[in-house]
């Protein structure tokens, strides 16, 4: 099994250039020792990417992600940013399918499948987010929904392409609410996602794909979540905006 542990910080639409520069500097200043085969990924807004790339470039294991990209290679799409532009400023990962993109920007599986292709075509990696809203969880429909999200967004890929895919399970009811999934709920869903990968691509792809948990992850609950056998790290929102909290979560990954 060679899958990575990943702690990724999704800043969302927070912090200006100067605040963001300070946050990256504060995290790096902690000189955190990373466990073997572990990555820390920082996903600031587009305007911060180039600067953050220069800040991270000499620190092994620290990589940069964008929070979104457009599905087309270039052209008349005012206000959009392409995968090749992200590549050119030093990005390694692109987060796709975050529930906020699905909810506020109407992103669906058909669009996300195109975005996945655009990212992979530029030799970048995808952090593909899935997860159910509360009503779906209450009706016990979470597996069916996550299955649809994964098969619609990712299952057009071949097994070789999956080495550039990371999945993040983020129950929408846990995002920014302070209400974390229990480690039992997280493990159950992560094992289910891995079983879907095994069924579609075989055991090797399933074993080698990192599956992150997201949703009110913080230093006080990260160690328990990360100890679950199928939880390979976290996608962190609010707590990634505070250097001490993000550092605490990175430490919990060791």
For β-strands 125-130 and 93-96, DSSP reports them as parallel
Pair of tokens at residue 181: 């999934």
Q: Select the span of 133-141, 148-156, 215-223, 224-232 touching ligand PGA (CB under 6 A).
A: 215-223
Interaction of residue 9 with ligand PGA, rule CB under 6 A: no
Beta strands in 74-172 (DSSP E): 93-96, 125-130, 165-169
* DSSP at 240: G
Quote the CA–CA distance of 68 and 90 in Å, as a whole number.
15
Instruction: In angstroms, give the least distance from the CB of 74 to ligand PGA.
Output: 28
98 included as an active-site residue: yes
Give the C-alpha separation, 143 to 193, whole Å.
Answer: 8
The one catalytic residue among 98, 100, 107, 132: 98
Contact flag: residue 236 with ligand PGA (CB under 6 A): yes
The catalytic position among 39, 107, 109, 170 is: 170
The residue assigned the tokens 């199928």 is 230
| 237 in contact with ligand PGA (CB under 6 A) | yes
Q: Does 170 bind ligand PGA (CB under 6 A)?
A: yes
Classify 42 as helix, strand or coil. Answer: strand
| Number of residues counted as binding ligand PGA (CB under 6 A) | 13
Q: Which is nearer to ligand PGA, 194 or 218 (CB)?
A: 218
Map the footprint of ligand PGA across residues 95-114, applying CB under 6 A: none
Residue 245 interacting with ligand PGA (CB under 6 A):
no
Classify residue 224 by its DSSP letter: H
Question: Taking phi first (over 0 means left), then psi (-120 to 50 degrees means alpha), and beta for anything else, what does residue 177 get?
Answer: alpha
> Among 82, 92, 209, 216, which residue sits at the site for ligand PGA (rule: CB under 6 A)?
216
Query: Which residues have a catalytic role annotated?
Result: 98, 170
Residues binding ligand PGA (CB under 6 A) = 10, 170, 175-176, 214-217, 235-239
């Amino acid at each position: 099994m060679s899958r990575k542990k990943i702690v990724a910080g999704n800043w969302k639409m927070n912090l200006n250039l100067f605040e963001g520069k300070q946050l990256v500097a504060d995290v790096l200043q902690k000189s955190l020792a990373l466990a073997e085969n572990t990555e820390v990924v920082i996903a600031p807004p587009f305007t911060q990417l180039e600067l953050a790339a220069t800040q991270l470039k000499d620190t092994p294991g620290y990589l940069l992600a964008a929070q979104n990209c457009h599905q087309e290679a270039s052209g008349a799409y005012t206000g959009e940013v392409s995968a090749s532009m992200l590549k050119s400023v030093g990005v390694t990962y692109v987060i796709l399918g975050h529930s906020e993109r699905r909810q506020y920007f109407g992103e669906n599986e058909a669009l996300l499948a195109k975005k996945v292709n655009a990212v992979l075509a530029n030799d970048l990696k995808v952090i593909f987010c899935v997860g159910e809203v509360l009503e779906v969880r209450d009706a016990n429909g979470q597996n069916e929904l996550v299955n649809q999200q994964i098969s619609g967004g990712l299952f057009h890929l071949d097994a070789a392409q999956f080495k550039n895919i990371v999945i993040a399970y983020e129950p929408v009811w846990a995002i920014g609410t302070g209400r974390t999934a229990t480690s039992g709920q997280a493990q159950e869903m992560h094992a289910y996602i891995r079983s879907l990968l095994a069924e579609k691509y075989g055991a090797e792809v399933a074993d080698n794909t990192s599956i992150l948990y997201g949703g009110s992850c913080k230093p006080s609950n990260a160690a328990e979540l990360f100890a679950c056998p199928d939880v390979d790290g976290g996608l962190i929102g609010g707590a990634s905006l505070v250097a001490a909290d993000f550092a605490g979560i990175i430490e919990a990954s060791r």
